[in-house]
Amino acid sequence: MRIRLCLAALSLAGGAGLATLSQPAASAATCSDIDVVAARGTFEPGTLGLIVGDPVYSALQKKLTGKSLSSYAVNYPADLSLTSAAQGNADLVNHVDAQAAACPNQRFVLVGYSQGANVVDNSIGISSAGAVVGSPIVATLPAAVEPRVAAVLLFGNPIRALGKSVTGTYQSRTIDFCAKGDPICENGGGDVLAHLGYTADADAAANFAAGKV
């Protein structure tokens, strides 16, 4: 309970402290070259997520100048309810499935921050059950879609506090940021403000994704 309350406080504080950042407009479903699918953190405001999703999308636009980009904000509560991450998991998979069918040449960059990282973990087959605001897997991206996922960008990933990480098929396409002392992703971490600092990693994440596209 203590760590869940901390997560809520962190997310609310992040919204208050970063409200002046610019936010990219999420695109409608189109057949762009790259669809950036972002799952925000608990209570995180912003179009794709003020702390991570929005700045990462902006950085990707600058790095991938020769390609068209669209964005999708995973539609889920991003709250402390027991089914929140599961709802995000289902929505992410449904969106990518639909886009993959409609746009045969489109590729995907998956972005997840905090609870949103749980959503992405589940969607690529790594269960977040037992993690802070995690859930069992309810849907996974099908094998036919897997080669079209160019990169997976994770920040403050709660499964890391359980000693878990992304392994298997998506491992080489995944970068997973955990700030020193972040209690959400580091077991025993005590620096609650570390969980709010991932905007600083947006450029590094975009560089990684650009190298995979």
pLDDT in tens, 115-161: 999 999 999 999 999 999 999 999 999 999 999 999 999 999 999 99
| Number of CB atoms found within 10 A of residue 1's CB | 6
Q: What is the pTM of this model?
A: 0.88
* Integer Cα distance of 36 and 38 in angstroms: 6
Q: Of the residues 70, 84, 114, 128, which is catalytic?
A: 114
Q: What is the CA radius of gyration of the chain?
A: 15
Concerning whether 114 is annotated as a catalytic residue, the answer is yes
Concerning whether 172 is annotated as a catalytic residue, the answer is no
pLDDT in tens, 165-182: 999 999 999 999 999 999
Q: Of the residues 91, 176, 195, 201, which is catalytic?
A: 195
Concerning whether 95 is annotated as a catalytic residue, the answer is no
Q: Of the residues 35, 91, 182, 201, which is catalytic?
A: 182
